[in-house]
Copies of this chain bind each other. A is one copy, B any other.
Amino acid sequence: MELVLDGDVVRGDSDARERFYDSRGYGRVEAGGLVLAPVEAAHLLSRGDVDVVRDARSGDALDFRALVSSAAVSEIDVLVYKDLRDRGFYLSPAREGWVDDPVGADFVVYPRGQGPWDDAVAYRIRAISERTAVSAATLGDGVLAVVDEESAITYLETSHPEIGGSTTTDLPSDVAADLLGDRVLVWEPPDALYQQGFYGQPLDDETGEPLQLSLVEAAALAHQGVLDVDGGAAAIVECGREVEGERFDRRLAVYRDLRDRGVVPKTGYKFGADFRTYADVESVDSLGHSELLVRVLPANHAFTPRDLALDVRLAHGVRKRMVFALVADADDADGPRIEWLEVGRLTP
């Protein structure tokens, strides 16, 4: 069978429509015939279902090699299309007029057993090379299919999670504390801080004294009037900024937002993240498993897929969810804007 490349579509007759659209969900119907995206035609060529695609302009007969090497189709799309077909899915290129809401997607994948005749959508897929940076702001609604250097494909599901917990603590006020270089020490800590609120870490496990607070913990507490430190919260923030710059403001904004949501953030250092979080802390003696790993990023961050893969794999390995806090205007008087983005592994 022969098809015709006509601008940015590939056309076939009613026989082609019966064979490829009606029974296997390729392309769309136009005037009784078949219209394919070039990536679909490439797939049919690679399978031997179509012998050749004739270029209407040049008259050239294109085989799989020629079509894939041409500008008509991206090899990334060809690889992802093939992988999803191999997994038993029907899917459509996300073209205007072909699918609802094509913006931001390359393919719309139908549930297994369904096709373009049905209304249901299983996944909206964006196909990228591992070498392409991805703006964080464009994620949160769909699946990223990342083609690595060796053409293996990993799927990452992205969403905007609701973050919340049930932790509440009645905190004392004006507790004396010393700001050292990198932390704050509370020499006579009230129980509410560590025992109930899970703030800080005792230097001496037996006596519980002194209590060491991280700079973000201490800055948040000083803002609330809980701590009495020379220079107040401003001195702690200053100390944080000295090493971390604006990153400290972002981390502090996220820390405070999580606490406001009833979630306890603790350092995520051992997992290479900013925080690990506990949603429901009643007492440090009955801590559960921490649920989230949180990485704090500026809102305009662009991920390299490799870094995403690293975070998601590590989180999965320790049975936590990987969440990114995207912070805009951390130092705005009205408060920062934080957008939450979750990324997880998906096996379609």
**Contacts from A to B (Cβ < 8 Å):** 46, 65, 68-69, 74-76, 79, 82, 129-132, 146-152, 154, 178, 180-183, 185, 187, 200-201, 203-204, 210, 212, 214-216, 243-244, 266-267, 269-273, 305-307, 309-311, 313-314, 317-318
* Nearest opposing residue in chain B for A68, CB measure: B180
Copies in the complex: 2
B310 with A215: CB separation less than 8 A: no
Instruction: Indicate if the CB atoms of A200 and B150 lie closer than 8 Å.
Output: yes
- With contacts A212-B151, A314-B314 taken as known, whether A269 is within 8 angstroms of B309 at the C-beta atoms is yes
Taken together as a complex, chains A and B put the C-alpha atoms of A46 and B74 apart, in Å, by 66
Shortest beta-carbon distance, A235 to chain B, in Å?
14
Docked complex Cα distance between A318 and B313 (Å): 10
Contact B180 A270 (CB under 8 A): no
Please tell me which one of the listed residues B69, B149, B183, B216 contacts residue A151 in the complex, with CB atoms under 8 A apart.
B183
In this complex, which of A146, A154, A272, A307 has the most chain B Cβ atoms within 10 angstroms of its Cβ?
A: A272
Q: List 24 A-B contacts (CB under 8 A).
A: A46-B203, A46-B204, A65-B187, A68-B185, A75-B180, A75-B181, A75-B182, A129-B182, A148-B270, A149-B183, A149-B215, A150-B214, A150-B266, A150-B267, A150-B269, A151-B212, A152-B201, A152-B269, A152-B270, A269-B309, A271-B310, A272-B307, A272-B311, A272-B314
Q: How long is the Cα–Cα vector from A182 to B151 in the complex, in angstroms?
A: 10
Residue of chain B at shortest CB distance from A201: B150
Bound complex: CA of A345 vs CA of B213, how far in Å?
A: 25
By the criterion CB–CB under 8 Å, are A75 and B148 in contact?
A: no
Known: A132-B243, A272-B307. A181 touches B74 (CB 8 A): yes
Q: Are A272 and B150 in contact (CB under 8 A)?
A: no
Known interface pairs A132-B243, A178-B69, A310-B314; A201-B270 also in contact (CB < 8 Å): no
Q: Do B203 and A151 have beta carbons less than 8 Å apart?
A: yes
How far does the alpha carbon of A150 sit from the alpha carbon of B75 in the complex, in Å? Answer: 48
Contacts of A46 in B (CB 8 A): 203-204
A272 and B148 form a contact (CB under 8 A): no
Determine whether the beta carbon of B149 is less than 8 Å from that of A269: yes
From residue A304, how far is it (CB to closest CB) to chain B in Å?
Answer: 10
Contacts of A273 in B (CB 8 A): 306, 310
Contact residue among B76, B129, B151, B272 (Cβ-Cβ distance under 8 Å from A313): B272
- Nearest CB of B to A84, in Å: 15
Q: Which 4 A-B pairs have the closest CB atoms?
A: A272-B310, A149-B214, A148-B269, A149-B267
Report Cα–Cα, A85/B76, bound state, in Å. Answer: 56
